[in-house]
Amino acid sequence: MAQRTLARYLTEAQHDKGCIPANLKFLIEVVSRACQAISIAIGKGGLGGVLGEAGSDNVQGEAQKKLDVLSNEMLIEANEWGGHLAGMASEEMDLPHLVPHRFPKGEYLLTFDPLDGSSNIDVNVSIGTIFSVLKCPEGADLSTPEAAQAAFLHPGTAQVAAGYAVYGPTTLLVLSVGDGVAVFTLDREQGQFVLTQEDVQIPADTKEFAINMSNQRFWEAPVQRYVDEMVAGKTGPLGKDYNMRWVASMVADVHRIMTRGGIFMYPKDLRDPNKPGKLRLMYEANPMSLLVEQAGGKSFDATQRILDIQPTDLHQRCAVMLGSANEVQRVSDRHLT
């Protein structure tokens, strides 16, 4: 059977299921080509002069890697001319990037973390791009970047598409337009993404958890108790041994869970009561939560569904507990007792 490329998959979804308007199909293809170009830049590593620090900090006060800045620029340049977007927001930019007046404006808003896990770049561990697509509200005030921020502030349930690219031994694009999750593998000879898995399903149970254990003393009691129970294994109340993984690239940890199940947690850290978590709602937690739910998993901030959170700030953080439905439900229930 002929390979089903991303373009064919999107065309079929557009015609057969009517779930992808033409401009959304175009947007996803443009993002996929930007991810392809990012994959090539990353692949050059030290040979391409793209490793190391950029010498600047992002809005989060985090030192930017050269590839953080490059990936951000690649996504901006790929998307601003096509007439499908009204604006873009990124982890690497304080304010939204509005489509320049010289280009046509479209109906969608794109948020992204252009290169997630960038602390892993220089040690050659998998990293990724995370993106989320929203409809721009009718009559939104896009007169200035400051004013435009409000147009982005929708709960995750309003996303019309979400996905990530994971730059690992292979480069994969994992995508949902609200009709399940599909996985595409980059065929470097052909220079295009080819469908390699459809209708991803996360197993409801797991024996694998992902968390940064070095923060254990700063977690809230329910999370401490839950992790202690998993570490106790067969000798504890859960009656089974668990394994632990922590790549410190959300995309890599989430992709493992999409592939074989598991629970990923970046819980609230009591060191800074003003920071509900480390991960960002709009371009990390929300897109990943849509994908996980579309694959039969769950995603809570502890007690509430992440996709239901009403954002108040473009860069707000939230606690994240996502993955195998029964395991996520268990840790959420720990907060109610």
Contact status, residue 12 vs residue 25, Cβ threshold 8 Å = no
Q: How far is the CB of 101 from ligand P6P (least distance, A)?
A: 34
Does residue 53 touch ligand P6P according to CB under 6 A?
Answer: no
Does residue 68 touch ligand P6P according to CB under 6 A?
Answer: no
Rank residues 30 and 250 by Cβ distance to ligand P6P and give the closer one.
250
> What's the CA gap between 237 and 229, in Å, rounded?
6
H helix or E strand, kind and range, residue 195: strand 192-197
Sheet of 108-116, strand order: 97-98, 85-90, 108-116, 127-135, 161-167, 171-176, 182-187, 192-197
Out of 250, 295, 306, 322, the only residue in the binding site for ligand P6P (CB under 6 A) is: 250
**Which residues within the stretch 173-192 sit at the binding site for ligand P6P (CB under 6 A)?**
none
Rank residues 212 and 303 by Cβ distance to ligand P6P and give the closer one.
212
Would strands 192-197 and 108-116 be described as parallel, antiparallel, or unpaired? unpaired
Residue nearest to ligand P6P (CB): 250
Q: Which two tokens stand for residue 116?
A: 């997630």
Out of 32, 249, 299, 332, the only residue in the binding site for ligand P6P (CB under 6 A) is: 249
> What's the CA gap between 177 and 172, in Å, rounded?
16
**Residue 179, C-beta contacts closer than 8 angstroms, at least 6 positions apart:** 13, 17, 19, 294
Which range of residues in 46-54, 134-142, 155-163, 242-250 is near ligand P6P by CB under 6 A? 242-250
Rank residues 75 and 136 by Cβ distance to ligand P6P and give the closer one.
75
Q: How far is the CB of 245 from ligand P6P (least distance, A)?
A: 11
Rank residues 212 and 304 by Cβ distance to ligand P6P and give the closer one.
212
Burial, 317: exposed, middle or buried (Cβ in 10 Å; 0-12, 13-18, 19+)? buried
Rank residues 298 and 317 by Cβ distance to ligand P6P and give the closer one.
317
> What's the CA gap between 255 and 295, in Å, rounded?
12
> What's the CA gap between 172 and 303, in Å, rounded?
31
Which range of residues in 191-199, 244-252, 285-293, 304-312 is near ligand P6P by CB under 6 A? 244-252
> What's the CA gap between 259 and 172, in Å, rounded?
12
Q: How far is the CB of 133 from ligand P6P (least distance, A)?
A: 20
Q: Which two tokens stand for residue 239?
A: 């009656």
> What's the CA gap between 317 and 285, in Å, rounded?
9
Between 87 and 116, how does the x/- string for binding to ligand P6P read (CB under 6 A)? Answer: -----------------------------x
Q: How far is the CB of 226 from ligand P6P (least distance, A)?
A: 18
Does residue 248 touch ligand P6P according to CB under 6 A?
Answer: yes
Residue 281 neighbours by CB distance under 10 Å: 29
Q: Which two tokens stand for residue 150?
A: 């409000």
Out of 117, 156, 222, 297, the only residue in the binding site for ligand P6P (CB under 6 A) is: 117
Rank residues 3 and 212 by Cβ distance to ligand P6P and give the closer one.
212
**Which amino acid type is present at position 39?**
S
Out of 17, 46, 77, 119, the only residue in the binding site for ligand P6P (CB under 6 A) is: 119
**Which residues within the stretch 268-287 sit at the binding site for ligand P6P (CB under 6 A)?**
278-279
**Interface residues with ligand P6P (CB under 6 A)?**
116-117, 119, 212, 248-250, 253, 278-279
